[in-house]
Amino acid sequence: MFLKRKTALITGSTSGIGLGYARALAAQGAHLMINGFGDTDVIDGYVAELAESSGGRAIYSAADMTKPEAIRAMMAECAEKLGGPDILINNVGIQHVAPVDEFPEDKWDAIMAIILTSAFHTTKAALPAMKAKGWGRIINTGSMHSLVASPFKSAYNAAKHGLAGFTKTVALEVATQGITVNNICPGYVWTSLVENQIPDTMKARGLTRDQVINDVLLANQPQKKFVQVEQLAALAVFLCREEASAITGTNLSVDGGWTAQ
């Protein structure tokens, strides 16, 4: 358990990829702060599970990632109650699918705030303590849409491309200070975020559910299967190891071959 006495904060971690990250880091002994929305009893169960798995502490923040003041309060609470964070994973995300000329402006603003701007605020708050310790890991959850585009996802593509550039910039700024910054770029992972966009894609493209899955979601994923949450979590754990300390400023594709084309 090489992460004992380390603290990890993961945004958007009450389900899906983020919860997978939390479970994998807890298994290595990290204290955890998880964040997101959901049923209180279910989240309390996750907190208890993570504390038991890590042998350490786990807490939950309901901070709204569209509100900078809430993000700053979350970061301060983590530092006060758990220390750090030594590991920051910016994972929170939402999606909306529509042609750009029909794209709701409030959806654009929300996607940019939640995916891109929240990562700025969490990173800004986390870096001083990481610099003081001379050690830190910042991992962003990008997407193959950090590297390539798909139609009808203008806000998501823009936010994820922005996250890729933000990753590179911060990595360069802290390159000599024991801190690495990387962007994990999954292909389609079977999570609620992907499942929930199927109806909108059906409407936008005039397709059936099966056609969306096979002809849209997996069309450009050569392995023709969804990426597994556990695969992403294993990569995040590796990026926290000393053996990965020379990996920084990268966009790491885990996409079944999507971006090889």
Question: What pLDDT sits at residue 197?
Answer: 81
- Is 100 buried (19+), middle (13-18) or exposed (0-12) by CB count in 10 A? exposed
For 39, other C-beta atoms within 10 Å of its C-beta total 9
pTM of the predicted model as reported, rounded to 2 decimal places: 0.93
| pLDDT value at 196 more than 90 | no
Sign of the CA dihedral with 101 first, then 210, 221, and 248 last: positive
Q: What is the mean pLDDT of residues 9-16?
A: 97
Instruction: State the Cα–Cα distance between residues 212 and 158, nearest whole angstrom.
Output: 22
pLDDT over threshold 80, residue 192:
no
Domains, in order of start, for the chain? 7-188+228-260 (3.40.50.720)
Q: Is the per-residue pLDDT at 179 higher than 90?
A: yes
Q: Residue 29's pLDDT is what?
A: 98
pLDDT digits 0-9 by tens, 34-55:
999 999 999 999 999 999 999 9
Q: What is the DSSP string of 101-121?
A: GG--HHHHHHHIIIIIIHHHH
pLDDT at 193 over 80: no
pLDDT the model gives residue 194: 79
Task: Give the position of tokens 């992460």.
Answer: 3
Residues 12-25: what's their mean pLDDT?
97
Residue 74 predicted with pLDDT over 80: yes
Pairing outcome for strands 251-254 and 87-90: unpaired
Burial (CB count <10 Å: 0-12, 13-18, 19+), residue 3: buried
Contacts of 143 (CB under 8 A, 6+ apart): 156, 160, 185, 186
Distances (CA, A) of 8 to 20, 23, 78, 83: 13, 11, 9, 9
- Give burial (CB, 10 Å; 0-12/13-18/19+) of 54: buried
The catalytic site residues sit at 156
Burial of 87 (0-12, 13-18, 19+ CB in 10 A): buried
Q: What is the pLDDT of residues 99-118, one digit of tens each?
A: 999 999 999 999 999 999 99
Q: What are phi and psi of 54, to 5 degrees?
A: -85, -25
Buried b (16+ CB within 10 A) or exposed e, 210-243: eebbeebbbebbeeeebbebeebbebbbebbeee
Q: What sign does the dihedral 193-229-210-257 (CA atoms) show?
A: positive
